[in-house]
């Protein structure tokens, strides 16, 4: 019987404790010193909205905000982002109510395939955080690192411009979303099903 010796491509050191705040929640996990942030976010924390597209810094699908600044999580070592405030697409909404950029992507066709959308949303949210009235050129510059393979960029640019308008007019997702229209209510509004119905 032959014995197989597994030789890892990348030498692995011992795991170390990684801490950070992800979407407002303090997280502590074991990670290797060379772990990339993308893997810690997806595999340890479970924020699967962070997408692995190219894994080499060219598509923008994996973008997250690190202390409010867009970063490609596939090119960021987890320990480079240790102790920071990280926001993924899951952290943009206010509870059940969409962030204006999410509302406008839904309303204006910015969300097409869905795979690249989280990256577009977080970089656009960062732009609007600093500039609620961007020009089209500024929007295009902000999203230049994000690839849409179906090339539907115009709807994305329109969505960002419209979200800026919502923010300037002080219209939040809260104002646009009546609790009764929430498709996934919790608490007393949660629909009850007859006993025995699968959920």
* Residues near ligand FES, by CB under 6 A: 52-55, 57-62, 72, 74, 112-113, 115-116, 148-150, 152
Identify which of residues 79 and 115 has a Cβ nearer to ligand FES in the complex.
115
CB 115 within 8 A of CB 76: no
Q: 69, 61, 110: which is closest to 87 by C-alpha? A: 69
Shorter beta-carbon distance to ligand FES: residue 114 or 188 = 114
Least distance (Å) from ligand FES to the CB of residue 42? Answer: 11
In whole angstroms, the minimum distance from the beta carbon of 152 to ligand FES comes to 5
Nearest residue (CB) to ligand FES, 57 versus 68: 57
Distance in Å, CB of 3 to ligand FES, minimum: 37
CA distances from 81 to 15, 75, 118 (A): 16, 11, 19
- In terms of Cβ atoms closer than 10 Å to its own Cβ (0-12, 13-18, 19+), residue 46 is exposed
Closest approach of Cβ 170 to ligand FES, in Å?
A: 29
Beta strands in the chain (DSSP E): 16-22, 25-31, 63-66, 69-72, 85-87
Query: Nearer Cβ to ligand FES, position 18 or 105?
Result: 105
């Amino acid at each position: 019987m032959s014995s197989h010796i597994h030789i890892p491509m990348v030498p692995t050191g011992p795991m170390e404790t990684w801490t950070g705040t992800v979407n407002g929640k303090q997280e502590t996990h074991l990670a290797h010193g060379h772990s990339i942030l993308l893997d810690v976010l997806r595999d340890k924390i479970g924020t699967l909205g962070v997408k692995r597209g190219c894994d080499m810094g060219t598509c923008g699908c994996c973008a997250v905000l690190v202390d409010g600044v867009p970063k490609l999580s596939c090119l960021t070592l987890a320990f480079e982002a240790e102790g920071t405030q990280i926001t993924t697409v899951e952290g943009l909404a206010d509870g059940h109510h969409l962030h204006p950029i999410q509302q406008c992507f839904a309303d204006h066709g910015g969300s097409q395939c869905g795979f690249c959308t989280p990256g577009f949303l977080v970089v656009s949210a960062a732009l609007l955080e600093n500039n609620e009235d961007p020009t089209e050129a500024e929007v295009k510059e902000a999203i230049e690192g994000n690839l849409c393979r179906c090339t539907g960029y115009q709807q994305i640019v329109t969505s960002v411009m419209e979200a800026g308008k919502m923010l300037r007019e002080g219209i939040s997702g809260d104002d646009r979303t009546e609790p009764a229209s929430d498709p996934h209510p919790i608490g007393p509004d949660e629909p009850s099903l007859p006993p025995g119905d699968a959920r």
